[in-house]
Amino acid sequence: MSTYSVVIFGIHLRIRPVAFTLPIGKDGWDIYWYGIIIATGFLLAILYGAKNAGRLNINFDKLLDVVLITTPVAILCARTYYVIFDGEKSISGISEFFGFGTNSGFSGLAIYGGIIGAAVCGTLMCKFKKINVLDALDLASISFLIGQGIGRWGNFMNQEAYGSFTGSSFWGMQSERTVLEMGEGLVHPCFLYESVWCIAGFFVLHRLSKKRLFSGEVALYYCIWYGFGRAIIELLRTDSLMLGPIKISCALSLLICLSSVITLIVIKKKMANSVENYAYVEVFSSVENNDNQISMQKEDNNE
């Protein structure tokens, strides 16, 4: 098993990407820390959804059915997205796409592919299960941040998702892999930046969800929060998926962030206008006016 010697923030570590090997096949089946960490994040996201579904007007039993169908679709979409935009990786056939014939399965997933796949498939499944789509997106957005925040540590165990040189004697990391690919020097631990950003976003969105004004509001805040942070972090990374000269994840992040900001502003402006245009009826004044009119009518009749 390969072992990496890693220095991060002045701390020396030795990490092994492979947690253990199952006695399957000729050479065994390696179980990577990456997969274990991703699964842990996924489980915690499910537990959060189970506890908070009712608060967002969602039947969790129905939502669980949605998750069971959407999850494998999201993984396939994450793999497809990665293969499409990874210019250095050529797939010769379906067996290589799924990693058949190797002891570690397929490698290479892109989070945006998974999010897009989850959003499309999840929406269709919510329609089928008669779940309010916007409520489900609000809950899923908070849960995503749990999975993403924890899942990025899988990148650390694989020594990937790092950035350019920091130019600092302390703020950064280095391993045999970064030296091999980048040369001597400390590089930005981009996996850590995104992990901290997502975990912080989880607490922010969880709090906002308790005061949401409309269904879908939390999902818009997720797009703004994650899109902005990912766009900045992506500029530092050296392993970005590319569309020609463009870092596709950076461009997509900015597009999602800006469009969500505009959508949120438009919705809140319409809500504010509807409140301003509401005709307030002065109940007590109306009663007093009616009483005065009745008194005047009685006086007229007496005359």
SS3 271: helix
Q: Where are the alpha helices (DSSP H) in 161-247?
A: 176-182, 190-209, 217-236
Helix (H) or strand (E) run with residue 30 in it: strand 29-32
What is the predicted pLDDT for the residue at 285? 47
What is the predicted pLDDT for the residue at 84? 81
What is the predicted pLDDT for the residue at 9? 87
Cα–Cα distance for residue pair 72/51, rounded to 1 Å: 23
What is the predicted pLDDT for the residue at 293? 53
Q: What is the mean pLDDT of each run of 10 residues along the chain (303 residues)?
A: 84 91 81 92 95 94 94 90 71 62 62 91 95 96 96 91 84 88 90 96 96 95 97 92 88 96 96 72 49 52 49
What is the predicted pLDDT for the residue at 241? 83
Range of the domain at 163: 4-302
Cα–Cα distance for residue pair 116/235, rounded to 1 Å: 21
What is the predicted pLDDT for the residue at 64? 94
Using only the alpha carbons of the chain, give its radius of gyration: 27
SS3 215: coil
Cα–Cα distance for residue pair 257/139, rounded to 1 Å: 19
CB atoms within 10 A of CB 167: 10
What is the predicted pLDDT for the residue at 282? 52
What is the predicted pLDDT for the residue at 283? 47
Q: 18 Cβ partners below 8 Å, 6+ apart? A: 1, 2, 30, 31, 32, 33
What's the whole-model pTM score?
0.83
What is the predicted pLDDT for the residue at 73? 94
How many domains is the chain partitioned into structurally? 1
